[in-house]
Each structure stands twice: as structure tokens, then as C-alpha cells.
Structure 1
Amino acid sequence: MGLHESYPAYGGSGPSDFRLGIALGTVATVFMVLRVYVRLRMNKFGTTALIWSLVAWLFTAITQIFGILSILHGLGNHITIVIEVGELRNFLLYTWITVFFFNLAIPTGKVAVAAFLVEMNSQSNPKIRRSLIVVAALNIIFNIPQVLLVWVQCSPPNALWDPLRQSQCDHGKSVYYTYFVGAVAAISDIYLAIIPITVLIPLRIDKKLKWGLSFLMGCGVFAGAAAIVRTWAAKFIMSEDSSYGAGILFRWGEVEEWIVLITMSIPPVWPLFRPLTHRFIRSTVNRSQPQYKQNGDYGNYGSTTRGNQSIAPPVVTTTISISSQKGATASATMAGPSSSADSLTRFGEEAETPHTIFSHNGDPEGWVEMSHFKEQNRI
């Protein structure tokens, strides 16, 4: 027996929203499990960010569960069908419970991202640190009225899910405040996505790796776009076909919630995927190294000959490694002038010097590991 037979109000855009939420929720849950594993087995810091992330995941999962119940009872389907099959009461009840937990999940997710970026940034940039704290605080403060407004729209409050007493409800204030809070959420998502990119761009690392990490860590911009759309869709709560319109709001709301959790989990779980990228980075660097000849021809580097001996010019190398081990210190080792053979040998070695990507003072905040990567330093 299919869901349509068990739940006659199930239909419209509900089934697609159902599948989308399950898919994104599964990916986010896998990432959260990997984060816990990395925290327990590999990294000994980042506890605060992980706790906030788990709380955000819990609220989002509860929101998704009640959202599914709402879908089964008419969310995303046309209101005429919901009324015809007698599911209006259940639709109203589960939908408003979903909205309540949604209003808890959204700010918690923003706080979790901010806490994560604060730990990554450490003390290297106090202005960024303070701005992240402000973003987290504003999302909490502005969402407190939003949470409370859900239960004061109707007098008495239980009229909220009573089909016969909807005239006793005024959704206007809640919807108008949603526009404001949604704008704050969208701006916060975009800002939190840009911060890690601004730190990655100046780094002199492999360009493919740099842009790949920038793209992955900047996917929070998509959460900001989803926040804009779901804020716009809040107007459907007061429309004649509210059950169908609210489905649009729920769809983009779940996209925003899950994308925030997914993108914030990419850097912490990077140590698990570093071995897969290590070979790619090393092979790319090896192909880019200059090939020195023994006949005195060094291209633009020049040459020095003394009899039949050819001496290569000094080569200065910089070894950069980003480690997730606790107590990692930021350092860059420069090799002094040496012979051509010694320089080439150093390029082939796999020396590892810990370096934190978001900290310049040696604090143990190395979330992203890219060890064994070597780059020639330009003078």
C-alpha cells in the first residue's frame, strides 16, 4: 500500500519535498558522524563548534521529521484537497510544530558556523573574530521573537490548529517579522561563506586545491540564496491556498538548514580525505618543477661554469604543511643555497612541517590538512 492510500492528503509538491529532505538529511548526517569520528580519533580540539553543530543537527532533524508528517497530511498539496479529505486539522498542527522547530534550527546553525570559524581563525584576526561573534549573537537575539510569535498568533493558542477558529488568528505580524529575520539569515549565510574564502585565496598553494576548497567552503552562499527564497515564500502563509504555498517555504527552508550543516562539516572532516588528494597535489607539483640540465643550460636561471663542471644556481624551497594534530605550530622551512643535486633531493623528500591555515601564531587550530605539499618560493 502506497503513501497515497494511507494518507489521502499526500500529494502536489509534497513527494518531491519529501525526497529532497531525506537526501540532504542523509548526507548531512553522514558528515556529522564523520565529524564526531575525527574529533574523537584525530583532532583534540573544536569541541565547542562540534557541540553547536550537533544541536543544530538535532533541531534540523526534528524539523524534518515534523515536516514529513506535515507533507503526509497535506503540506505541499492544494488546500481544497486537504479540506476534502478531512486532514486540515492535522495539516495545521504538524505544520506549525515544524515552523517552531525550524525557527530554532536556523539560528542554531548560524551560531554553529560562527563558532567553527572562530576556532579556525583563532587570534590571527581579532576583527573577524569579533564580527563572527556579532553575527552569532544577532541571529539568536532576532530569532527569539520569531519563536514566540508562533504561539501568540491566535487567541487562545490552540486555535492555531483548529480549522473552525482560524478567524481568531492573525498571521500578519509573524509573516512580516519573518521578512526581517529572513534577510538577517541570508546576509549571515553569505558572510559566513565568504570569510573562509578570503583566508584561502592569499595562500600560495596548488591552484586547483585552493579553488576547490574555496568552492566547497563557499557553498554556504547557496544557503543564503535558499534563505532569500524561503523568506519570499513566507507570504504564502496568508494566501488562499496556504497548504500549497507553505510547501514552497518548507522546501527552501530544509535546503537552507541542511546545506549549512553540510558545508560547515567539510573542513573538519578534511583529514579523512587528505590521503586521496595527497597524490594529486604531489604529482601536480612534480610536473611543475623546472628540469635542470647538466650541460650548463638553465634557461632563465642562468649558469656558472668552471671548467667542465656545471653549477646550478641556488634554489630556495618552502615546505608548507597544514596539520590537524593538536599543538601544531605555524612554520615555513626555507632551505638555504645548495647544489643542484641537493635541491632536487629536497624537492623529492616528504618532510612535514605543521602549519595552520587560519592561524599565524601557532595556535592549535589546524582544521585543514594538506601535508607533504611543497612549493617553490619566488624571490
Structure 2
Amino acid sequence: MSAAILPLPGADQPDENRGPQIAGAVVSTTLAALVVFCARMYVRLRMIRSIGIDDYVMLAAMLLSLVGMGIVIAQVHYGAGRHAAYLDPEVNRFGLKLNFASQPIYLWAIPIVKLSVGFFLLRISPSVYYKRILQGVMTFLMAYTFVSLMTLMLQCNNLAVLWDSRIQTTCWSQSTVQGLSYANSTVNIVTDIFFALLPIPMLWNVKINARKKASLICILGLGVFACAAAIVKAAFISNYGKTGDFLWDSANLTIWIAVETNTGIIAACLPCIKPMFKTIFDSSLRYGSSRKRDTYNLHNYAHGTGTKGSKYLHSQTRTEIDARRVAVPNSLADNISEESILTQKPNGITKTTVVTIDRSVEESGETSGWHKDYPERVVEDRL
């Protein structure tokens, strides 16, 4: 009596190919994260000229994401998103091997992003209490990730069985593996919420402008989007290995684990590139104001008779100088007040004195008392 030949997984399904969908989602989100990360490094290296440990940790996370993207692209080439029944057995085995290789990459990339956020929050933390909490959560996150890596590596006596079904060995049950995956997703979701919401109580009593405080809290809270991606990813865990058609079953997990990683990178980098947005916005306003002033032909008023024309021109000129004198110190003070939260020293309170000199009036030789109504010095106390 001949042994029954088992049908290959997916033989009862049409030959669909979700590979392009997988590659498109992973590549687009990874490149978006890369652009935002490069903007962050430009701000830190060229504008602020200050780089910290959080930047180096984020660099490690970005490199892992890029490596993961490369593995996923190769994985798509070797059958990811297709049924095993329509793939050459050797192609299917190599695709499964690449699928396994991507798992520890993203397993570490996600918590490393949060580690970078933790170091960033440590720099702006106003009290030792919050620093202790952050350090405890960061330590727990790294320890738990290491344990998760060990469970990934020890799930089978011979890991090769995960991509080569011809090997005979013993593995943990599917329910055990799924339970560990759910536990990992739960930790990711809880820590995403923690790092997104912690800035609210942490910065609540910091003495800065209320509008800037709200904007800073909102930007730091963008991690909730990574939390949303983690929740969606967790919804697809039950499908992995359900039919034994792993390259097909893992399509959604591959997409959403990359989305979670890269959304976390983007959300973590956005607070650091706010100075770039502020500079671009201020430059646009100055350009627009300059063009608007050019549309006024002040020389036409100068051709008027008597003192009326010259008096109007003199008034317009001094009004513009007034605007420049008021705008420059206020803008500078706003920039400093806002950026001081992001670059404060870890110890104590510092006082910064900003002295502003009006070059346009100084060079023109005007020393009359009309401009002395405006302050020559801006002094701000900040953390």
C-alpha cells in the first residue's frame, strides 16, 4: 500500500503574488524614515552642532531597518507573498531562510528606536524621578528583547527545519510560539504608549510658553502611530503558520513589522528637525515680506511738494526700521526659548543673556531717542 502524498501548502488556492505589495510597503516606509533621519542628522551636525547618544542609537536603528529592507526585497524575489505550491522547492526553502533572517533584525530594530527616544527624553527630563523611570523601562526593554531573541533561537533543536521541512527534529508547539509573539507585541504596545505619553506629565510644569509646550508634547507623542502599527501587526499573528504556507501567511506580518519600525523612526526624529522647519518657515515669511515691500514705490511719495511727501517717506522708513528692531529680538528669543528644552544641560538651571544690536540704525548714524523705547537686551531663565 503506497503512502499518501500530501498536497503542497496553497495548492487549493490560485497563484496570487503579494510580493510587489510587500516590497512597496517596506521600501516606501523605510525610505521615508531614511529621509527624516537624514534631516535629523543635518540639524544636529550643521544647525545645532550638537550630537548625542540618542542620535547614535537612532543611527543603529536606521541601519537595521535598511538591512531589513534589503532582506525583504531578496525575500520577495524568492517567493514571499506566494503559495509554496507554485514555487520551486529550492526557491521556497531559500525564501523561508530569508524570512527567518529578517526576524531578529526587526526584533532588535523596534526596541532600539525606543531606546533612542528614551535617551532623548533623559536629556530633557526636568527631574531625577523621571530619569529613574526612564532608565528602568529602558533596561527592562533591552533585557526583554534579549530574552525574546533567545526564544527565537531556541524554538527548535535544529533551526534549519524552519526552512527545510525534510529535516526531522522537535520544536515548540505553534500555540507556544504564537503566545510568545503576542507577549512581545503587548510589550511593544505598552512601551509605545509609555514613551508617547510620558512627555505630558514630564513637561507639564516646565516654565515655557504654553503654545510651545503643547506643540512639543504633541510632537513627542507621535509615537502613538507606531503603537497603532503594532496593534495592527498583532492582529495578524494568528495567521502565521496557520496553513503551513509560511511565505504566504507572513505577508501581512512582514509589512506591518516594517511599518511599525519605520513609523517609530519617523516619530522619534520629528522633534529633532523642528529647527529646520522653523528656519524654512521664517525664511519663507521674510521672502514674502521682502517681496511685499518691493511692491510699494516709495519714491513716488518723495516727489510730492512741500514737506508732506518727505514726511510720509520718513515715517514709512522709520516704521520699517521699527518692525525690524522688534521682530529680530522676538524671533531670536523664541528660537532660543524653544530649542533650550531640547539641548538643556543635565545639571541645574542656566541663565542665558542675549544681546541684540540693530546694525541698520547703527550704520545709518541715527541716535535719536525714538528707538530707545525698545529693549536692547533679552534675558530669559530656562531649564
TM-score (norm 1): 0.68
Aligned to 1:184: 187
Residue 322 of structure 1 aligns with which residue?
A: 338
Distance (whole Å) between structure 2 residues aligned to residue 198 and residue 278 of structure 1: 30
Contact 2:123–2:344 (CA<8 Å) still a contact in 1? no
CA separation in 2, counterparts of 1:355 and 1:62? Answer: 45
Please state which structure has a larger fraction of its residues in helix.
2
> Counterpart amino acid of 2:107?
N
Using the aligned pairs only, state the percent identity. 24
Cα 1:77–1:171 change in 2 (3 A) is farther
- Is the CA contact (8 Å cut-off) linking 1:153 and 1:160 kept in structure 2? no
Which residue of 2 is the match for residue 266 of structure 1?
A: 270
Name the structure 1 match of 2:148. 146
Verify: 1:249 aligned to 2:250, yes or no.
no
Which moved further from structure 2: 175-184 or 149-158?
149-158
Paired residue type of 2:234: T
Q: Residue by residue, what CA displacement relative to the aligned partner does 1:244-284 show, whole Å, maximum 9, x if unpaired?
A: 231111111111100111111112222222223447999xx
Map 1:273-288 to 2 at 5 A: 273-278=277-282
Q: Residue type matched to 1:21 in 2?
A: V
- Report how many aligned residue pairs link the two structures: 301
Question: Within 2, Cα distance between the matches of 1:247 and 1:104?
Answer: 20
Q: CA RMSD in A?
A: 3.5
- Is residue 2:82 matched to residue 1:66? no
Instruction: String of CA shifts for 1:121-143, please: whole Å, max 9, x gaps.
Output: 2xx22222111112211111111
- Residue in structure 2 matched with residue 286 of structure 1 by the alignment: none
Are the aligned partners of 1:323 and 1:355 in contact in 2 as well (CA < 8 Å)?
no
- Specify which of 49, 67, 92 is matched with residue 96 of structure 2: 92
Residue 252 of structure 1 aligns with an amino acid whose one-letter code is W
Instruction: Return the letter of the residue paired with 1:135.
Output: V
Q: Distance in 2 between matches of 1:244 and 1:343?
A: 74
Unaligned segments of structure 2, at least 5 residues: 1-13, 287-329, 354-369
One of 101, 108, 116 as aligned partner of 1:104: 108
Shift of 1:159: 2.2
* Alignment partner, residue 34 of structure 2: 29
Trace 1:211-250 onto structure 2 (pairs within 5 A): 212-240=215-243, 241-250=245-254
Cα distance in 2, alignment partners of residues 344 and 179 from structure 1: 65
Q: What secondary structure sits across from 2:17 in the alignment?
A: coil
Alpha-carbon shift at residue 342 of structure 1 (Å):
8.9
Deviates more, 1:101-110 or 1:154-163: 154-163
Shift, 1:192, TM fit:
0.7
2:58 is the alignment partner of 1:53: yes
Alpha-carbon distance change, 211 to 45 in structure 1, aligned in 2, over 3 angstroms: same
Q: Is contact 2:65–2:262 with CA below 8 Å preserved after alignment?
A: yes
Q: CA deviation at 1:155?
A: 2.7
Question: What is the distance in 1 between the residues matched to 2:380 and 2:71?
Answer: 46
Asked if 1 retains the 8 angstrom alpha-carbon contact of 2:57 and 2:115, the reply is yes
- Contact (CA 8 Å) 2:19, 2:76: kept in 1 or not? yes
Per-residue CA deviations over 1:152-201 (Å, capped at 9, x if unaligned) read 22232222221323774435333321211211111111111112344566
Q: Secondary structure at the match of 1:219?
A: helix
> Structure 1's 180 and 344: CA in aligned 2 closer, same or farther, altered over 3 A?
farther
Q: Secondary structure at the match of 1:267?
A: helix
Alignment of 1:112-191 (within 5 A): 112-121=116-125, 124-165=126-167, 168-170=170-172, 172=174, 173-191=176-194
**SS of 2:271 mapped into structure 1:** coil
Residues 322/212 of structure 1: CA separation in 2 closer, same or farther (3 Å cut): closer
| Aligned AA (2:127) | N
Name stretches of at least 5 consecutive residues in structure 1 with no aligned partner: 1-8, 283-316, 334-340, 361-379
Of 59, 81, 85, the residue aligned with 1:80 is 85
Q: CA 1:355/1:266 → structure 2, altered by over 3 Å: closer, same or farther?
A: farther
3-state SS of paired residue (1:238): coil
Query: Which of the two has higher C-alpha Rg?
Result: 2
Residue 142 of structure 2 aligns with an amino acid whose one-letter code is I
Give the C-alpha shift of residue 117 in structure 1.
1.2
TM-score, normalising length from structure 2? 0.67
Partners of 1:171 and 1:58 lie apart in 2 by: 33
Q: Distance in 2 between matches of 1:218 and 1:164?
A: 48
Q: Name the CA shift for 1:199/1:155 in 2 (closer, same or farther; >3 Å).
A: closer
Question: Which structure is richer in relative contact order (CA contacts within 8 A, separation 6 or more)?
Answer: 2
Q: Structure 1 residue 223: deviation in Å?
A: 0.6
- CA 1:326–1:138 in structure 2 vs 1: closer, same or farther (change >3 Å)? closer
